[in-house]
Structures are given as C-alpha cells and as structure tokens.
Structure 1
Amino acid sequence: MGQMNNSSSNGLSRRALLGAFAATAVSAAPTFANAAGFLRGGGDIRRIAMYSGRTGESIDTIYWIEGQYIKEALKEINYFMRDWRVDESITVDTRTIDIMAAAHSLLDVNEPYMLLSGYRSPATNAMLRSRSSGVARNSLHMKGQAADLRLKNRSVSQMFKAASACHAGGVGKYSGSNFVHMDCGVVRTWGS
C-alpha cells in the first residue's frame, strides 16, 4: 500500500469544511467524538504523504480503508516519524495522523508535508528544551502524539486555520520558524 524511499487563506466556514470532506474520495478526519460530523461523506480512504529533510526519506501511504487502519502502513508511519537523532520509534497515535491528514485535505494541495519533528525520545526532548524555551517539558512528541509540519505552497497561517478547523487537538503556529504543530491533546491553539 505505502511506499517509503530515500530521495532527497482565508478562514474556513463549517460548510466549506464539510464540503471539503464530501468532495474528495481521498480524505481523512479526526476520530474524536466531537469531530464525528467531519466523517460524514468523507470517503472511505485516508492517506498521508510526508518527507524528511533530515533523513532524505519520504512516505506516501493509504493508512485507513473503509473503517480499518492498515497495520503495515501504520508501521511505516511509525518508523518514518521516529526520532532520527537516536533512531528510536514508538507507536504514533492514529488520532494525530488523522488530524494531519484532515488538515492536509482541507488545504487542497498535492505537496507532501515536510516533517520537522514527530516522535522525540526523552533525551532528544531534553536537549531541545535546553536550547529553546518553546519546547515543553512533557511534550506530546514524547508520546507519539504530535508533529511539527511545514508546506512550501501553503503559509503557516493557512495550515494553522486548516488544523484548527478540525477542532480535534492542539495547534500551534510558529510563524518565525515556519511550521505548525499538530497534536491529539486537548483542543487549544497558540502562537503568532
């Protein structure tokens, strides 16, 4: 199903959001109870595409079909989103993958995400925390519940609005560093 290889707006209304899911056969939506409305008419396939400038790897995989997650695809995603600094991976929370895929679908772009940070080992998180005040001590990255993402063809503001429209987790806007944080924690937003 998937493949991994080495190779180097405006505000969104509820109607537009629902239409985005209904209008596409390849879509994704968060699995949270408060986001159940986004699933209606959303198609029966979920796909995620990303690349990593750090490792040179890319992934483009269908990870959910007709109500079922595909175990092999999730294993590929877990490995892809590993902490590359220590080559460690854990099980990434499927809710985070769903949020990422839903936001990507809303952005109506073919470009894969650039993954800046997925899973972080406690050692990596501590190292990053010593260098930046923006790294949380108990970061959801350490639980496989967060990702920091970038797109070349969409602004940080556009990505932030799309992820926020899912109402399914935390969304942080880091305009100065040109990325958006998405997680499956408590619904909240931050950043400028």
Structure 2
Amino acid sequence: MTSTVSTGFSRRALLGAFAAASIAAAPTTSSAFGFLRGAGDIRRIKMYNGRTGESIDTIYWIEGKYVGPALQEINYFMRDWRNNQVREIDPRTVDIMSAAHGLLDTSEPYMLISGYRSPQTNEMLRRRSSGVAKNSRHLRGEAADLRLKSRSVSQMYRAAEACAAGGVGRYSRSNFVHMDCGPVRSWGS
C-alpha cells in the first residue's frame, strides 16, 4: 500500500526555492561553470532564430568534455545570418547562456537576436545605432543577444549577472539581453 502526503508545495515551487537559495548562498566568486557543475555533467542549449527559421536543441558537453560536432552546429546556428559567415563561438559564452537559462527555470528556447557578426555587419549596425561597439565581442564569436517571451529582460539580466562569468547588458527598449565571455561587467537599463 502506498500513501501520499500533501505538503502544499508543488515540485516546481520546491525546485524554484532551491534555485533561489542556491543563488543567494553562492559565493561572490561564483561563475557560470560553477552553476553548471550540478547539472549531471551534461550541458544543453536550446535556441531558435526568427530571421532564419532555424532551431537548435543540442547537448554540447558530456562528462567534462565539449562535444565537437555539437559545437560546430552551434557555430553554424550563431553565424552572421546576413552573409552566412561562420566563426567559432567561444564555448564559454555558450556555458554562460546555458547556466543563465537553467536559473530561469523555463523550457522555452532562447530567441537568438545576434551571435557572430562579421566586420561588415558590425560596421553597418554601428552606422545605424550608437549602441554597437566598434570592437564588439560579437566580432570574435564571444557574445550573444538573446530574448525569451516567458521572461522579462530584467529576469534574464539578473540570471546572467548571477553567473558572474562575463559581460551582461540589459537592453529593455529593444527587449533583449547581451551575454559575453569577456571580463565581468554589466550595463544598461
């Protein structure tokens, strides 16, 4: 005979409380890699691109090692869609994206706004907007601009910032968050 006891808490609520406690208890030197350590040694990234209509849902890390073919898929997926130029995406950026996504407790894939940018694309965007850096980390395959329908820019920003592993920019008016594997810093409103 099996008996069940109702505690009034759902599994989701308990997991959310655990995640919140983990963030609050994390040391200030924590990083995305630390947040990913408890993930069963498997790392996954899910994204779609509204410009190309493509989606990706791949496990890119297993048992302490990056999966080469999965990283190649990510490189192609995050290419400069304007001219199809592909560049190697720094796996540390993917780690930050994956860790932040895990903290947000959603199954929704990221919408990729911008991954790698060729010099031509970056220059064209700089002419249109003062918010595009001349030496953008997008040029080196070290950055992504992302959106989630189910989470606010502030929620995404706080999750990425909690990883303390790179740059995080909040672009509320444009409804996206920038994540990169450069020095730890944050900006935007």
- What TM-score comes out, normalization by structure 2 length? 0.84
Q: Determine which of 104, 108, 120 is the counterpart of 2:105.
A: 108
Is the 1:106–1:162 contact (alpha carbons within 8 Å) kept by the matching residues of 2? Answer: yes
Shift of 1:137: 0.2
Q: Indicate conservation of the 8 Å contact 2:36/2:99, yes or no.
A: no
Q: Which runs of 4+ in 1 moved over 2 A?
A: 12-20, 33-42
Q: Does 1:91 align with 2:88?
A: yes
Give the alignment partner of residue 23 of structure 2, picking from 6, 14, 17. 17
- CA displacement 1:139-163 (0-9 Å, x = unmatched): 0000000000000000000000000
Normalising to structure 1: TM-score of the pair?
A: 0.83
Counterpart of 2:75 in structure 1 is 78
Q: CA deviation at 1:183?
A: 0.2
Partner of 2:187: 190
Is there any run of 5+ residues in structure 2 with no aligned partner, and where?
Answer: 1-17
Partner of 2:115: 118
**1-side partners of 2:92 and 2:45: how far apart?**
13
Selected match of 1:155 from 138, 148, 152: 152
> Does residue 172 of structure 1 match 2:169?
yes
Residue 191 and residue 13 in structure 1: after superposition, are their counterparts in 2 closer, same or farther (change >3 A)? farther
How many residues were matched structurally?
Answer: 169
| CA displacement at 1:180 relative to structure 2 | 0.1
TM-aligned CA distance change 1:40 to 1:19, over 3 Å: farther
1:31-70 → structure 2 map (5 Å cutoff): 35=31, 37-70=34-67
Please give the secondary structure, in 2, of the residue aligned with 1:177: coil
Unaligned runs of 5+ in 1: 1-11, 21-32
Larger radius of gyration: 2
Report the alpha carbon displacement of residue 43 of structure 1 after superposing the two structures with TM: 1.9
Partner Cα distance (1:92, 1:115) in 2: 13
The AA in structure 1 aligned to 2:50 is: G
Cα offsets for 1:74-129 (capped at 9, x unmatched) = 00000000001010011000000000000000000000000000000000000000
* CA distance, structure 2, for counterparts of residue 37 and residue 122 of structure 1: 33
